[in-house]
Each structure stands twice: as C-alpha cells, then as structure tokens.
Structure 1
Amino acid sequence: MSELKVTLVKSSIGQCEKMKGRLLGMGLTKREKTVTLKDTPEVRGMIAKVAHLVRVEE
C-alpha cells in the first residue's frame, strides 16, 4: 500500500474543534511537522476536510 507525506502548513489556531481533532488524529501537532500515513480512504477523508491547512505529497 502506498504512503502519503502530510505536512501542516497553517496553524490550527482559530479553527473549530473538529478540525483540530482531525489534525491530532493524523499526528500533526505543530506547524511544518511532516508525518507519513498509509493511503486509506479514512486518511483521505481527514485530509479532504483540512485541505486548506496541509500539503500532501504522494
């Protein structure tokens, strides 16, 4: 299964609690932090909800 590199490019300050929870669920706690996640439909859904805050690389 392929993997995705997800980087938090904008802070979660001022975002609603659901978006902060999605970022924490992906392991993104600080700005410019990069995590490697498996490419699953669940992860893709979380990325879609916070797409304006993250950068994704295949």
Structure 2
Amino acid sequence: MRLLHLSDIHGRVDSERILRAFNELRADIIVISGDSESSSLLRDLAGRTRVFYVSGNMDSISVV
C-alpha cells in the first residue's frame, strides 16, 4: 500500500505538482493532516482515491 501525505499547505497549492506526485507514486490513500485551505484540490484528489483529512487550526469549516 502506498500513501501520499500532505500537510500545512496553507493555500500555497501547486496542484499540478501534487497530482504528478500522486500519479508517479500510484498512491492508494492520501492523508492530509490539516491546514490545506484548498477545497478544489481536496475535491480533485477525492475523485481519484480515498482521502483521509484531519482539519488543522487554520482550516475553515467550509474546507472540511
């Protein structure tokens, strides 16, 4: 099982780079441990594989 872990992105999203890493690793699961602030990236990733998300202290309720 391959896992891709993301954390503390804080809106500095390079979606292309993250998606490229996901594709290259052929990740089975993505774990995001807070402070993502990018709901569009989360939706995109959730459409590709299972995503486990733990909200961080900077996340708004709309991201979760």
TM-score (norm. length: structure 1) = 0.35
Larger RCO, structure (CA 8 Å, separation 6 or more) = 1
